[in-house]
Copies of this chain bind each other. A is one copy, B any other.
Amino acid sequence: MKKIYGIGVGPGDKELITLKGYRLIREADVIFAPKSKGISTALKIAEEFISDKKIVELEFPMGEDNSSRYKEAAEIIRKTSGETGAFLTLGDPMVYSTFIYLLSELDKIGVNAEAIPGITSFGAASNITKIPLTLKGDNFYLCDGEINLDILKNSQSVAVLKTYKDKKKILSILEENGFEYVYVKRCSTENEVVLRDRTAILEDKDYLSLIIGRRKNNG
């Protein structure tokens, strides 16, 4: 590969890919997709757009130390023949993604890489539920599972990704600090579910879920 684009394919709805992301996917000689336990959500989102393309799947097991895998994946990308490649990323390439780690390995071995922004899951969830991330003067806080209290106490809104880590604790902290919340699972897909009831939220076990919180009486 002479050039690789890390492309954010958004949270689930294939129409939430940008025009630029779509164009670069269509122009790419090879599509690279991260896989975890045999599943590639990013690939599934873009599947209609890449049926005629060469696809290379790269395994990055979730929850493991993947540092040697990033190195290997960068080498695979370098050695694959073609002018340009598209590495698909769920959401945005710069937000809790595999591509960030891959980027520094690509850099080390001299592969020209560029990142193309995508719609994040929390951005889409905010639009779907009409809960603003930020009104004028607001502070917004993004984290993945562990809420920092000093931050929360000074924020007007929060998005918590990877809620499966300890959902009960997350909800309790939000309640104790005067936050309303909504739980969005499989955001923007046909399986999307929006839950506001504490018990229903706690019963759900989906990995692709997030919580948006907003301080009560704050617009």
Contacts and interface: CB of A to CB of B under 8 A. Distances in A.
B18 A134 contact: no
Interface string A133-163: 1111111111110101011011100000000
B144 A142 contact: no
Contacts of A101: 135
A85 interface: no
Given A15-B23, A18-B17, A92-B123, A137 B146 contact: yes
Given A18-B10, A18-B16, A19-B19, A151 B139 contact: yes
B116 A127 contact: yes
A213 interface: no
Contact of A123 (B94, B130, B144): B94
Given A141-B141, A150-B150, A127 B94 contact: yes
Interface residues of A, number: 54
A100 interface: yes
Interface of A: 8, 10, 13-20, 22-23, 92-96, 100-101, 103, 115-120, 123-124, 126-128, 130-144, 146, 148, 150-151, 153-155, 219
15 contacts: A14-B19, A16-B20, A19-B22, A92-B123, A94-B126, A94-B127, A94-B131, A100-B132, A100-B135, A115-B127, A115-B128, A117-B123, A139-B141, A139-B143, A140-B143
